[in-house]
Amino acid sequence: MRYKYGKGKAQTMSVMNTTIVAGETGSMVKPGRLLSLDLLRGLTIGFMILVNNNGSEAAAYWPLKHAAWNGFTPTDLVFPTFLFLVGISTVFSTASRLAQGATKQSLFLHTLRRAVILFLLGLLVNSFPQFHLHTLRIYGVLPRIAVCYFVVATLYLVWPGWKDKVVLVVAALAGYWIIMRFVPVPGYGVPTHDVPLLDHDGNLVAWLDRQIFSASHLYERTRDPEGLISTLPALGTALIGMLTGLWLRTERTLKAKARGIEYAGLSGVLLGWLWNVWFPINKKLWTSSYVLFAAGWSLLLLAFSIWLVDVRGVRRGWWTTFLQVFGTNAIVAYVFSELLAGAIGSIHVAPGVNLGRWMYNGIHSVVPDAAFASLLYSLGFVLVCWLAVYPLYRRRIFIKI
């Protein structure tokens, strides 16, 4: 990793940050920043840390938990929104470096290096603090981000246009549906005929992951929510973000861009909801309907953020600072939160009671409502992570991966 800093003014940005062209006129102006992207990224990371660290998973409010299988909760929006923002950032960071004279070969090597570091950070997060190879999980949030980032960044270097990206999104989502719907699952049969569509263990994603890894390497023993085949539709999520980034670089006013993003968001929610009838929305399998439905909500959040912050100019206040701290060092905040959670979980204060459970029990002893006690624990965890990252923001240090 490396970083740069400046006195009073940031000199560089984290890997997921974005330098863009913004203006109320139809013409291009000098490079600036859309604060709305930093704030949405910060909101996404903050919420991700919140839902990943419930004081009690069983007692937590339902919006702060993933859907058990088919279905959708606000928590299921977190990861796809971050991948969506990765796609946007890839467009602007790559275009900016090309404009500064960087060659495509050097950018490809730069992309490869970033992807490898992200993947290795994912292995660190997955194995900390035990580091047992026989239980090491290869899949995960950061490895999936690394793969999707590498693929979409490479595609943009080779084909910077938008039409091929649309074709790839359609191919990825339709192809995944065909695979999951019509390809027989060894030992189970044809989905909808011999086995229910999206059966927990009798689906092709889970079956292939069990052929590659033993149960000790899979998050849910018989399956993994970031499995190999389901990376295909996840690429669709990142590509939708890339298409959004290309739209934001067009010579239109911010109001027009926000309006176009809003319409796209409404279309995504509607199409995803309709496809849900034949191909259920399922985060753990990253189904094609889930991609469209989640991307629709991500687009709507982005449109609202651009309208509120960059068009209306509502950008000052404690809440913008709070979100910017996470948004400008997103990967650092996420990695710290995961390592902190791992450390807390490994410290046992009594037989069968780790430090996290002990702290939640302490809160619950004062706050009778278990769900509210769980939320208080989660909010405290988020605050600790924010305080850890804030000094970097204060000194305008933005880690580059």
- In tens, the pLDDT along 302-323 reads 999 999 998 888 877 888 999 9
Per residue in 175-232, pLDDT tens? Answer: 999 999 999 999 999 999 999 999 999 999 999 999 999 999 999 999 999 999 999 9
| Alpha helical stretches, state H, 276-369 | 288-305, 318-327, 330-346, 355-366
Q: How far is 341 from 339, CA to CA, in rounded Å?
A: 5
pLDDT at 195: 95
Q: How far is 60 from 129, CA to CA, in rounded Å?
A: 25
Query: What mean pLDDT is predicted for residues 161-165?
Result: 93
Average pLDDT, the chain: 90
Q: How far is 149 from 86, CA to CA, in rounded Å?
A: 7
- The yes-or-no verdict on residue 23 having pLDDT over 70 is no
Signed CA dihedral, 164, 165, 170, 176: sign only: positive
Min mean pLDDT across 93-102, 114-123, 236-245, 274-283 is at 93-102
Q: What share of the chain is helix, strand, coil (3-state, %, to 5)?
A: 65, 5, 30
pLDDT confidence of 5, banded at 50, 70, 90?
Answer: very low
Min mean pLDDT across 31-45, 287-301, 335-349, 367-381 is at 31-45
- The yes-or-no verdict on residue 170 having pLDDT over 60 is yes
pLDDT at 33: 61
- Run of H or E including 398: strand 398-400
pTM for the model stands at 0.90
pLDDT at 187: 94
- The yes-or-no verdict on residue 395 having pLDDT over 60 is yes
pLDDT confidence of 4, banded at 50, 70, 90?
Answer: very low
Chain Cα centroid distance, residue 112: 19
- Percentage of the chain surpassing pLDDT 90? 83
pLDDT at 27: 32
Q: Which residues pair with 195 in a beta bridge?
A: 191
**CB contact burial 8-36 (16+ within 10 A = b; e otherwise):** eebebbbbbbbbbbbeeeeeeeeeebbbb
Q: How far is 30 from 44, CA to CA, in rounded Å?
A: 28
> Are the C-beta atoms of 124 and 75 separated by less than 8 Å?
no
> Are the C-beta atoms of 173 and 236 separated by less than 8 Å?
yes
Contacts of 78 (CB under 8 A, 6+ apart): 44, 47, 48, 51
- The yes-or-no verdict on residue 256 having pLDDT over 60 is yes
Per residue in 90-146, pLDDT tens? Answer: 998 999 899 999 999 999 999 999 999 999 999 999 999 989 999 999 999 999 999
- The yes-or-no verdict on residue 269 having pLDDT over 50 is yes
**CB contact burial 160-180 (16+ within 10 A = b; e otherwise):** eeeeebeebbeebbeebbebb
pLDDT at 280: 98
Signed CA dihedral, 79, 84, 85, 89: sign only: positive
pLDDT confidence of 35, banded at 50, 70, 90?
Answer: confident
